[in-house]
Structure 1
Amino acid sequence: MRDPRSALAETVSWIDLLLTDGRTREDVLDLRELSVQSGVPSELITVLLDGDEAPAEDISERIISRIVHLRETRLRPDGTRHSYEEIASSFGASRASLSNMVNGRRKADSGTGTRPARSGGPLASTQAGIERFFFGEPNGWLSAEPETALNDALQPVLAELRTSAGDTVGADRAVALRAAAALPPDKWQLLQGVIATLEKQVRNELGQG
């Protein structure tokens, strides 16, 4: 399995390489929308896009904060939040259990209550039920590391940039050429040597050597 930070760095690099006509990240990345889609705060998104590490975070706190985030951003058609009863009943839990889990943790974090003795996060079945309610199926969204969550949210942006650059193969070739042009002289000489070797190999295979 790929390291989440490396996977995110690769996606950001592709986005940077596909930016043309003087466009910048700010022109194509909507931090607020990325935050809505990923559950990662906008200020942390900026940190991650710059290649820095996310601060250490308790996974239980992450899950609880994302449950709150879902209720605030995935609203009913009339613009109101889904109730705890509505969410909990969808997977056979009680309103009180879900409400107490979220609000109990938030009160403990704010210093107005006592943190529960058990430090574990919500049961896997509870997480799966909440994800199914909001996304249609369990997808690991509540517990995903910030880098993974942001990387997933960036994929539609990357796909759109590739589409606007032409077909995927053509876009990849264009990016490769741009990247090659930016290589320092020693790296460019190395690349030329590789290309020459490949050309010789092809000629030999075709009997043209």
Structure 2
Amino acid sequence: MRDPHRVLAETLRRLDSLLAKDGRTRDEALDTMKLSEESGVPQDVIQALLEGEEAPAEDITERIVSRMVHLRETRLRADGRRHSYDEIASSFGASRASLSNLVNSRKKAPVEAVTGARPSRLGGPLASTQAGVERFFFGEPNGWLSAEPASALNEALQRVLKALPATAGEQDAEPRAVALRTAAALPDEKWKLLQGVIETLERQARDELGHDTNR
């Protein structure tokens, strides 16, 4: 998988370039509160990442649980109330108690208690819970709950990029750029497979162009 910080740096360079053409700076264009709501990353961590710093180390279970809480606080029901644990858990065949106990147990174990410890492995019940919660809020499992802060912020920034005016050349290149940004978080084997497909298509295109010029 590509380095999330390198991918984020590439996105920020493109963002700065487009903003410069629009006569604005990053500070003027970005709302860290909105980025935090969309990504599930705390505002102070977003600010640090925007300044090129590293996100603080965190246990992956702590990250997943904190983002579950974040989703309940920010993705509300049509009536403006939070979704209940029972409503969320029953959507993927779990019990209310199993979900609320997971959240409450992590609240009793502050982040400092896991600092310096090896991150938890994502598997078993936690993995199925993550998939179920993501399916409930997003329609399908998408890795949102466990995504590294740099990756989560990078994804949120794509909406900002799409809202900015682009030059004609950038518009022509946009489909490929979107595909590459989407592929950035793929596992190594899938990334290599995608690269192979792109290279094959490019060779075919060059061959076809060569045949056309020889006619």
Q: Does 2:140 match 1:133?
A: no
Q: Which runs of 5+ in 2 are unaligned?
A: 113-119, 174-212
Distance 1:92 1:21, change over 3 A: closer
Describe the shift of the 1:132–1:170 C-alpha distance in structure 2 as closer, same or farther (beyond 3 A): closer
Question: Identity over aligned residues, as a percent?
Answer: 67
State how far apart, in whole Å, the 2-side matches of 1:39 and 1:148 are. 11
3-state SS of paired residue (2:109)? helix
2:13 matches 1:17: no
- Distance in structure 1 (CA, Å) of the matches to 2:43 and 2:172: 29
Q: Secondary structure at the match of 1:123?
A: helix
Aligned to 1:151: 154
User: Structure 1: how far apart are the matches of 2:126 and 2:61?
Assistant: 10
Deviation of 1:158 (Å):
1.2
Contact map agreement 2:68 2:145 (CA 8 A) in 1: yes
User: 2:100 & 2:40 partners in 1: Cα distance?
Assistant: 19
Secondary structure of 1:128's match?
Answer: helix
* 1:90–1:129 contact (8 Å) kept in structure 2: yes
Distance 2:153 2:170 in 1: 25
- Structure 2 counterpart of 1:7: 7
Report how many residues are paired.
164
Distance 1:22 1:131, change over 3 A: same
Alignment partner of 1:65 is 2:54 = no
Cross-structure match for 1:30: 31
Please identify, of 18-27 and 46-55, the stretch whose mean Cα deviation from structure 2 is larger: 18-27
> 2:50 — aligned with what?
49
Q: Which has the higher contact order (CA 8 A, sep 6+)?
A: 2
Larger radius of gyration: 1
C-alpha distance in structure 1 between counterparts of 2:22 and 2:111, whole Å: 47
TM-score by length of 2: 0.71
Measured after TM superposition, the shift of residue 168 of structure 1 is: 4.8
Counterparts of 1:56 and 1:110, CA distance in 2? 10
In the alignment, which residue of structure 2 is the partner of 1:142? 145
| Root mean square deviation of aligned Cα | 2.1
Instruction: List structure 1 runs of 4+ shifted beyond 4 angstroms.
Output: 119-122
Q: Aligned-pair distance for 1:160? A: 2.0
2:100 matches 1:87: no
CA 1:120–1:103: 2 relative to 1, 3 Å = farther
Deviation at 1:27, TM superposition (A): 2.2
1:5-43 CA distance string (max 9 Å, x none):
000001011101111343111222111111011000111
Q: Give the whole-Å Cα distance in 1 for the aligned partners of 2:148 and 2:90.
A: 27
